[in-house]
Amino acid sequence: MICAGIDAGSRAIKVVLFDHARSLVIGRGLADQGVAQPRLAEEIYAETLGKAGIDRAEVRCVVATGYGRNRVGFATTTFTEITCHARGVFHLAPETRSIVEIGGQDSKVIRLENGGRVRDFAMNDRCAAGTGRFLEVLTARLDADWSKLGELSRQSRRPALISSTCVVFAETEIIGLLAEGVPPADIAAGVQNSIATRVMAMAGRPLEAPVLFTGGVALQHGMVRALETALNCSVRVAPEPQFTGALGAALLAARTSPTDEGGQPES
Protein backbone atom coordinates (compact mmCIF):
# COMPACT_ATOMS: atom_id res chain seq x y z
CA MET A 1 0.00 0.00 0.00
CA ILE A 2 1.42 3.37 -1.07
CA CYS A 3 0.39 6.58 0.71
CA ALA A 4 1.49 10.19 0.39
CA GLY A 5 2.08 12.94 2.91
CA ILE A 6 2.20 16.61 1.93
CA ASP A 7 3.49 19.25 4.32
CA ALA A 8 2.35 22.60 2.94
CA GLY A 9 4.53 24.79 5.13
CA SER A 10 4.99 28.53 5.19
CA ARG A 11 8.28 28.45 3.26
CA ALA A 12 8.20 25.17 1.34
CA ILE A 13 5.97 22.31 0.26
CA LYS A 14 7.33 18.85 1.05
CA VAL A 15 6.06 15.52 -0.31
CA VAL A 16 6.84 12.01 0.94
CA LEU A 17 5.69 8.78 -0.72
CA PHE A 18 5.67 5.80 1.64
CA ASP A 19 5.29 2.12 0.78
CA HIS A 20 3.66 0.59 3.86
CA ALA A 21 4.14 -2.98 2.64
CA ARG A 22 7.91 -2.49 2.67
CA SER A 23 7.97 0.21 5.40
CA LEU A 24 10.03 2.33 3.04
CA VAL A 25 10.14 5.92 1.77
CA ILE A 26 10.06 5.59 -2.01
CA GLY A 27 9.96 9.26 -2.98
CA ARG A 28 10.57 12.79 -1.67
CA GLY A 29 9.97 16.17 -3.22
CA LEU A 30 10.40 19.79 -2.13
CA ALA A 31 9.41 23.11 -3.70
CA ASP A 32 9.42 26.70 -2.50
CA GLN A 33 6.05 27.92 -1.28
CA GLY A 34 4.28 30.67 -3.22
CA VAL A 35 1.01 32.49 -3.77
CA ALA A 36 -0.32 29.81 -6.13
CA GLN A 37 -0.11 27.11 -3.47
CA PRO A 38 -2.71 24.67 -4.89
CA ARG A 39 -0.89 24.61 -8.23
CA LEU A 40 2.53 24.29 -6.60
CA ALA A 41 1.35 21.40 -4.42
CA GLU A 42 -0.09 19.66 -7.46
CA GLU A 43 3.12 20.16 -9.45
CA ILE A 44 5.54 18.91 -6.79
CA TYR A 45 3.27 15.94 -6.07
CA ALA A 46 3.16 15.00 -9.77
CA GLU A 47 6.92 15.49 -10.08
CA THR A 48 7.59 13.28 -7.03
CA LEU A 49 5.32 10.54 -8.38
CA GLY A 50 7.07 10.71 -11.74
CA LYS A 51 10.57 10.40 -10.26
CA ALA A 52 9.43 7.43 -8.15
CA GLY A 53 7.81 5.77 -11.15
CA ILE A 54 4.45 5.65 -9.35
CA ASP A 55 1.10 6.13 -11.07
CA ARG A 56 -1.32 8.44 -9.27
CA ALA A 57 -3.91 5.67 -9.11
CA GLU A 58 -1.49 3.54 -7.07
CA VAL A 59 -1.60 5.99 -4.14
CA ARG A 60 -4.27 4.85 -1.72
CA CYS A 61 -4.46 7.97 0.43
CA VAL A 62 -3.00 11.49 0.59
CA VAL A 63 -2.76 13.34 3.91
CA ALA A 64 -1.94 17.06 4.05
CA THR A 65 -0.49 18.96 6.98
CA GLY A 66 1.10 22.37 7.60
CA TYR A 67 -0.20 25.92 7.32
CA GLY A 68 -1.65 25.37 3.85
CA ARG A 69 -3.07 21.89 4.39
CA ASN A 70 -6.63 22.99 3.66
CA ARG A 71 -5.58 24.29 0.23
CA VAL A 72 -4.27 20.93 -0.95
CA GLY A 73 -7.46 20.08 -2.80
CA PHE A 74 -6.49 16.55 -3.83
CA ALA A 75 -5.73 15.44 -0.24
CA THR A 76 -7.96 12.75 1.24
CA THR A 77 -7.85 14.40 4.67
CA THR A 78 -5.68 16.55 6.94
CA PHE A 79 -3.85 16.27 10.24
CA THR A 80 -2.19 18.97 12.34
CA GLU A 81 1.56 19.57 12.24
CA ILE A 82 1.91 18.49 15.88
CA THR A 83 0.39 15.08 15.16
CA CYS A 84 2.41 14.59 11.98
CA HIS A 85 5.76 15.58 13.47
CA ALA A 86 5.15 13.29 16.45
CA ARG A 87 4.29 10.37 14.16
CA GLY A 88 7.25 11.01 11.86
CA VAL A 89 9.69 11.24 14.75
CA PHE A 90 8.35 8.09 16.40
CA HIS A 91 8.96 6.22 13.15
CA LEU A 92 12.51 7.55 12.82
CA ALA A 93 13.57 7.40 16.47
CA PRO A 94 10.96 5.76 18.75
CA GLU A 95 13.06 6.43 21.84
CA THR A 96 12.62 10.22 21.42
CA ARG A 97 10.90 12.01 24.31
CA SER A 98 11.13 15.64 23.16
CA ILE A 99 10.94 17.30 19.74
CA VAL A 100 12.17 20.77 18.82
CA GLU A 101 10.83 21.81 15.42
CA ILE A 102 11.86 25.14 13.91
CA GLY A 103 10.34 26.03 10.58
CA GLY A 104 10.13 29.10 8.42
CA GLN A 105 7.47 30.96 10.39
CA ASP A 106 6.94 29.08 13.64
CA SER A 107 8.66 26.87 16.18
CA LYS A 108 7.35 24.06 18.37
CA VAL A 109 8.36 22.01 21.38
CA ILE A 110 6.56 18.66 21.60
CA ARG A 111 6.79 16.24 24.53
CA LEU A 112 6.10 12.58 23.83
CA GLU A 113 4.94 9.66 25.94
CA ASN A 114 5.78 6.01 25.37
CA GLY A 115 4.47 4.89 22.02
CA GLY A 116 4.99 8.32 20.47
CA ARG A 117 1.78 9.85 21.83
CA VAL A 118 1.80 13.64 22.31
CA ARG A 119 1.81 14.51 25.99
CA ASP A 120 1.85 18.27 25.51
CA PHE A 121 3.31 20.94 23.26
CA ALA A 122 4.10 24.64 23.02
CA MET A 123 4.08 26.62 19.81
CA ASN A 124 5.33 30.03 18.73
CA ASP A 125 3.43 31.19 15.65
CA ARG A 126 3.06 34.87 16.57
CA CYS A 127 6.59 36.18 16.13
CA ALA A 128 9.27 35.34 13.56
CA ALA A 129 12.13 36.07 15.99
CA GLY A 130 12.26 32.42 17.06
CA THR A 131 12.02 30.92 13.58
CA GLY A 132 13.86 30.36 10.32
CA ARG A 133 12.66 33.75 9.12
CA PHE A 134 15.10 35.38 11.54
CA LEU A 135 17.96 33.47 9.89
CA GLU A 136 16.77 34.62 6.46
CA VAL A 137 16.89 38.23 7.66
CA LEU A 138 20.36 37.59 9.06
CA THR A 139 21.73 36.14 5.80
CA ALA A 140 20.32 39.08 3.84
CA ARG A 141 21.95 41.61 6.15
CA LEU A 142 25.28 39.78 6.24
CA ASP A 143 25.14 38.99 2.51
CA ALA A 144 25.95 35.43 3.55
CA ASP A 145 25.14 31.97 2.24
CA TRP A 146 22.32 30.43 4.32
CA SER A 147 23.91 26.99 4.11
CA LYS A 148 27.17 28.32 5.57
CA LEU A 149 25.79 30.17 8.59
CA GLY A 150 26.86 27.34 10.89
CA GLU A 151 30.41 27.58 9.56
CA LEU A 152 30.36 31.33 10.07
CA SER A 153 29.02 31.22 13.63
CA ARG A 154 31.66 28.62 14.58
CA GLN A 155 34.29 31.33 14.03
CA SER A 156 32.71 33.55 16.69
CA ARG A 157 34.80 34.49 19.71
CA ARG A 158 32.25 36.75 21.41
CA PRO A 159 28.65 36.16 20.27
CA ALA A 160 26.68 39.39 20.04
CA LEU A 161 23.78 39.90 22.41
CA ILE A 162 20.56 40.26 20.42
CA SER A 163 18.07 41.69 22.90
CA SER A 164 15.11 42.52 20.64
CA THR A 165 12.14 40.15 20.90
CA CYS A 166 10.75 41.17 17.49
CA VAL A 167 12.47 40.27 14.24
CA VAL A 168 11.80 43.74 12.79
CA PHE A 169 13.57 45.47 15.69
CA ALA A 170 16.23 42.75 15.74
CA GLU A 171 17.05 43.54 12.11
CA THR A 172 17.63 47.15 13.12
CA GLU A 173 19.82 45.87 15.94
CA ILE A 174 21.87 43.81 13.46
CA ILE A 175 22.35 46.89 11.25
CA GLY A 176 23.59 48.79 14.31
CA LEU A 177 26.03 46.04 15.26
CA LEU A 178 27.46 46.00 11.74
CA ALA A 179 27.88 49.78 11.87
CA GLU A 180 29.81 49.36 15.13
CA GLY A 181 32.18 46.93 13.45
CA VAL A 182 31.00 43.78 15.22
CA PRO A 183 32.28 40.76 13.22
CA PRO A 184 29.62 38.94 11.16
CA ALA A 185 30.57 35.67 12.90
CA ASP A 186 29.64 37.16 16.29
CA ILE A 187 26.34 38.47 14.92
CA ALA A 188 25.49 35.09 13.38
CA ALA A 189 26.23 33.29 16.64
CA GLY A 190 24.23 35.90 18.55
CA VAL A 191 21.14 35.41 16.36
CA GLN A 192 21.35 31.63 16.69
CA ASN A 193 21.68 31.96 20.47
CA SER A 194 18.68 34.30 20.51
CA ILE A 195 16.51 31.76 18.67
CA ALA A 196 17.66 28.96 20.97
CA THR A 197 16.90 31.06 24.05
CA ARG A 198 13.36 31.67 22.80
CA VAL A 199 12.88 27.94 22.30
CA MET A 200 14.09 27.32 25.86
CA ALA A 201 11.66 29.92 27.20
CA MET A 202 8.82 28.38 25.19
CA ALA A 203 9.60 24.93 26.61
CA GLY A 204 9.12 26.35 30.09
CA ARG A 205 10.93 23.51 31.86
CA PRO A 206 13.80 21.12 31.06
CA LEU A 207 13.18 18.76 28.15
CA GLU A 208 13.33 15.03 28.69
CA ALA A 209 16.00 13.30 26.60
CA PRO A 210 16.48 12.10 23.95
CA VAL A 211 15.72 15.37 22.13
CA LEU A 212 15.29 15.34 18.34
CA PHE A 213 15.56 18.49 16.20
CA THR A 214 13.34 18.65 13.10
CA GLY A 215 12.37 21.25 10.48
CA GLY A 216 14.47 22.97 7.86
CA VAL A 217 16.42 24.99 10.44
CA ALA A 218 17.81 21.71 11.81
CA LEU A 219 20.10 21.71 8.76
CA GLN A 220 21.96 24.59 10.42
CA HIS A 221 24.76 23.08 12.51
CA GLY A 222 25.13 26.34 14.37
CA MET A 223 21.55 26.06 15.59
CA VAL A 224 22.25 22.57 16.97
CA ARG A 225 25.15 23.96 19.03
CA ALA A 226 23.05 26.90 20.22
CA LEU A 227 20.16 24.65 21.26
CA GLU A 228 22.44 22.28 23.15
CA THR A 229 23.85 25.21 25.11
CA ALA A 230 20.46 26.80 25.82
CA LEU A 231 18.71 23.53 26.71
CA ASN A 232 21.74 22.12 28.53
CA CYS A 233 21.37 18.72 26.87
CA SER A 234 22.39 16.79 23.77
CA VAL A 235 20.28 17.47 20.67
CA ARG A 236 20.12 15.02 17.76
CA VAL A 237 19.06 15.99 14.23
CA ALA A 238 16.40 13.91 12.48
CA PRO A 239 17.38 12.32 9.16
CA GLU A 240 16.14 14.60 6.34
CA PRO A 241 14.70 16.91 9.04
CA GLN A 242 12.71 19.10 6.63
CA PHE A 243 10.59 16.07 5.64
CA THR A 244 9.58 14.87 9.12
CA GLY A 245 6.08 16.36 8.97
CA ALA A 246 5.39 15.00 5.49
CA LEU A 247 6.68 11.58 6.57
CA GLY A 248 4.32 11.60 9.55
CA ALA A 249 1.44 12.56 7.26
CA ALA A 250 2.25 9.65 4.93
CA LEU A 251 2.37 7.25 7.86
CA LEU A 252 -0.95 8.51 9.21
CA ALA A 253 -2.48 8.10 5.76
CA ALA A 254 -2.56 4.34 6.32
CA ARG A 255 -5.19 4.94 9.01
CA THR A 256 -7.51 6.71 6.61
CA SER A 257 -9.64 4.84 4.11
CA PRO A 258 -10.10 6.60 0.76
CA THR A 259 -13.77 5.65 0.92
CA ASP A 260 -14.34 7.71 4.06
CA GLU A 261 -16.09 11.01 3.35
CA GLY A 262 -13.78 13.64 4.72
CA GLY A 263 -11.48 11.00 6.21
CA GLN A 264 -10.32 11.17 9.79
CA PRO A 265 -10.86 14.35 11.82
CA GLU A 266 -7.82 16.50 12.46
CA SER A 267 -5.73 15.42 15.43
Mean pLDDT calculated for residue range 55-72 = 94
pLDDT at residue number 264: 45
Domain spans of the chain, in order of start: 1-93+243-267, 95-237
Place domain 95-237 in its CATH homologous superfamily.
ATPase, nucleotide binding domain (3.30.420.40)
More confident residue, 158 or 169: 158
Phi (first) and psi of residue 40, to 5 degrees = -65, -40
**260: exposed, middle or buried (Cβ count in 10 Å: 0-12, 13-18, 19+):** exposed
CA angle 121, 24, 16 (to 5 degrees): 55
Distance of CA 105 to the CA centre of its chain: 9
Q: Give the sign of the dihedral formed by CA 240, CA 112, CA 108, CA 252.
A: positive
Domain 1-93+243-267 fold: Nucleotidyltransferase; domain 5 (3.30.420)
Mean pLDDT calculated for residue range 192-197 = 90
Same fold, 1-93+243-267 and 95-237: yes
Band of pLDDT at residue 266, cut at 50, 70 and 90 = low
Q: Record the pTM.
A: 0.88
pLDDT at residue number 129: 55
Cβ proximity of 108 and 9 under 8 Å: no
Distance of CA 109 to the CA centre of its chain: 11
Distance of CA 4 to the CA centre of its chain: 18
**pLDDT tens-digit series, residues 89-115:** 999 999 999 999 988 778 899 999 988
Q: Per-residue pLDDT for 213 more than 70?
A: yes
